Amino acid sequence: MSTSVGASCDYRNTVFEFDMENPKSWVGKPGTNLLTSAMATCSGALARQSHHIESYTYTNNVAAYGRKDTTKVTITPTVTSGTMPYADFGFQAATGGSATTGDKYYVSFDYKTVKGGDDPALSIAYADGYKQPTNANVGTFDTATTINLPDGWKRRTVGVTITSGGNNGHTHWRFGQNSQGEEVEFYLDNFQVVESPVPMTWRDGTLSSTQGLLDTSKDENTITLGNLTYNSDYSFEFDGTDDFFTLPIEYTHLDDCSFEIIIKFDAIPTQNQVLFGYEHLTGYSRPPLGSIFIINNSGFRASVIDPTNVYTEIIDTQNGTHGTLATNTTYHVVVTKDTTSGAFKIYRNGVLGVTDTFSASGFGQWSSVGTYIGHDDLDVGRSSNTSSTHGFSNYFNGKLYKAKIYSKVLTAEEIEGLFESVRGRYGI
């Protein structure tokens, strides 16, 4: 697993993601990775499958380019002309039964090419009993997508549909690297093999608010999200009048989590406004389960409820005072919620603000211990509680670049790293 803070909070900790610059970002709970933990993190061996006219080596548990456990791959050709050297290597993933025709998988991995050759690519899918990929490929491939990650890493994702069932409950995935007659060196990390259907929502790559922005079944049939505009700078534009949406997710609001957003205001509201987080339930004067919001123009806030302390509310600070917000300024905000210790923290642009502690034993319970409230739904751009009494009927006016929920309490170091990894990209 990675130690570079920006890279360490990957799919294994993510339960909700909108990264507008990622054409395959998803919403909801990620499917179960079919690889073993050792394979997924590259701390265990990948199974070498074959090689052609070269010396091929790989080394696990290599710290390189901001990451801790990666696989270093080196290919040294023994010829420099004629048939170009090529190496493949692979692993197998138990599917809980033999893969059958029509099964759909999504495979992704992170890589960094240092020297020579092509970028590594998923080249073949095959099953036990079909060991010759040149004449028995059992999968058809979608067009792969590649996104840039911190420290020069890239992530490649591709969908594969099984066209011929396998044996013994395993499907093999083979990766290749063409050395083109020269020495090649590259690094691999974070392998994911997820079987569909899974409770996920993918965003397609269309820059069109009329065609829609989300592909709920990953089949290129998109749906619209209200009147939101998707901008060429990879942001959602909320107009402050009627733009918002709510979404169910699979991760329970009762567990540890961290919220992360990158946001810019076109206009600063003069009243209360929910930006992102678990649903603000009707009848509650503050969001009770963890949500990033603002009260007038006095900085970013978050709150939770419990029957002991009632509301525990935290606010970011800048230079020791509540941070006044400005238009045309991009902010990176993270809130961490520890439901074991009750620790509750908020960060603006990597800087820790006010911290507090809520009653962990009574979190999410009102009006008595054991009486749980809430739903695993998210409010984005407006509160679900539109009561004029509580003053949360305002719509967000501005741009949302990124919104993410992690299934862990991020450390201060991780949050600082997340901020540093995006500040240049968004001019923070």
pLDDT band at 26 (very low <50, low <70, confident <90, very high): low
| Residues 128 and 234 reside in one and the same domain | no
Of 41, 109, 73, 42, which is closest to residue 186 (Cα–Cα)?
73
Domain end point (choices 171, 196, 221): 196
- On whether both 411 and 323 belong to a single domain, the answer is yes
Q: Distance (Å, rounded) from C-alpha 214 to C-alpha 25? A: 10
pLDDT higher than 70, residue 149: yes
More confident residue, 159 or 34: 159
- pLDDT(412) > 60: yes
Residues 243 and 341 occupy one common structural domain: yes
Q: How confident is the model over 127-150, as a mean pLDDT?
A: 59
Domain boundary residue, one of 196, 218, 251:
196
Sign of CA pseudo-dihedral 357, 362, 364, 368: negative
Q: Would you say residue 302 lies in a domain?
A: yes
Range with top average pLDDT, 68-72, 99-103, 163-167, 190-194:
68-72
pLDDT: is 264 or 323 the higher one? 264
Mean pLDDT for 276-304 is: 92
Q: What is the pLDDT of residue 266?
A: 94
Q: What average pLDDT does range 320-349 have in this prediction?
A: 90
Share of the chain above pLDDT 90, in %: 26
pLDDT at 177: 59
CA distance linking residue 49 with residue 46, whole number of Å = 9
166 with 229, same domain? no
Give the pLDDT score at 133. 36
Mean pLDDT over residues 147-152, rounded? Answer: 77
137-140 long-range contacts (CB < 8 A, ≥24 apart) are 137/163, 138/99, 138/162, 138/163, 138/164, 138/165, 138/166, 138/171, 139/105, 139/163
> In whole angstroms, how far apart are CA 237 and each of 10, 263, 394?
26, 10, 15
Is the residue at 221 inside a domain?
Answer: yes
Asked if the model's pLDDT at residue 195 lies above 60, the reply is yes
Question: Residue 335 belongs to a domain with what CATH number?
Answer: 2.60.120.200
Cα–chain-centroid distance for residue 86?
32
Q: 111: domain CATH number?
A: 2.60.120
Which domain-ending residue is among 163, 196, 229? 196
Q: Which pLDDT value is given to residue 298?
A: 81
Q: Residue 217: what pLDDT?
A: 44
Q: Residue 295 has what pLDDT?
A: 87
pLDDT band for position 98 (cuts 50, 70, 90): low
Taking residues 97-109, report their average pLDDT.
69
In a domain, 15, yes or no: no
228 in the same domain as 186: no
Give 89's strand partners: 48, 175
Q: Name the more confident of 255 and 232.
A: 255
pLDDT tens sequence across 173-190: 555 555 566 777 888 887
Please state the length of the chain. 428
Residue 226 and residue 138 share a domain: no
The token pair at 400 is: 């949302």
Mean pLDDT, rounded, of the chain: 74
- Domain-located, residue 38: yes
Compute how many other C-beta atoms are within 10 angstroms of the C-beta atom of residue 134: 6
| The predicted structure's pLDDT at residue 162 | 73
**pLDDT, tens only, 344-392:** 999 999 999 989 999 999 999 999 999 999 888 889 999 999 888 888 9
Do 298 and 390 belong to one domain? Answer: yes
Does any domain span residue 43? Answer: yes
Please indicate, yes or no, whether residues 246 and 324 belong to a single structural domain of this protein.
yes
Residue 260: per-residue pLDDT: 95
Dihedral (CA of 186, 203, 201, 242) sign: positive
The dihedral built from the CA positions of residue 51, 57, 61 and 64, taken in this order, carries a sign that is negative
Whole-angstrom Cα distance, residue 260 to residue 333? 6
The yes-or-no verdict on residue 327 having pLDDT over 90 is yes
Which residues lie closer than 8 Å to 235 by C-beta, 6 or more apart? 20, 264, 399, 400, 401
| Same domain assignment for residues 253 and 154 | no
**Position 163 confidence tier, pLDDT thresholds 50, 70, 90:** confident
pLDDT value for 373? 93
**What amino acid occupies position 191?**
F
Least confident of 126-140, 249-263, 326-340: 126-140
Element (H, E) at 348: strand 343-348
- Domain for residue 128, yes or no? yes
Looking at the 3D structure of the chain, how many domains does it have? 2
**H or E segment and range at residue 407:** none
For residue 317, the model assigns a pLDDT of 80
- What pLDDT score does 349 carry? 94
Say if residue 150's pLDDT is above 50.
yes
Residue 23 lies in a domain: no
| Phi and psi, residue 37, nearest 5° | -60, -40
List the domain range (segments joined by +) for residue 416.
200-426
Report pLDDT digits (tens) over 56-91.
677 777 888 888 778 887 777 666 555 544 555 555
Residues 51 and 191 in one domain: yes
37 falls in which pLDDT band (50, 70, 90)?
Answer: low
| Contact between 226 and 336 (Cβ < 8 Å) | no
Give the dihedral sign, CA 296/297/298/302: positive
Do 176 and 216 fall within a single domain? no
1 located within any domain:
no
**Which of 372, 384, 378, 340 has its CA nearest to residue 358?**
340
E strand segments, 65-153: 67-77, 86-94, 104-115, 121-128, 139-141, 145-148
User: Residue 174 CB: number of other CB atoms within 10 A?
Assistant: 18
pLDDT at 135: 40
Predicted pLDDT at 331: 95
- Whether 232 and 188 map to the same domain: the answer is no
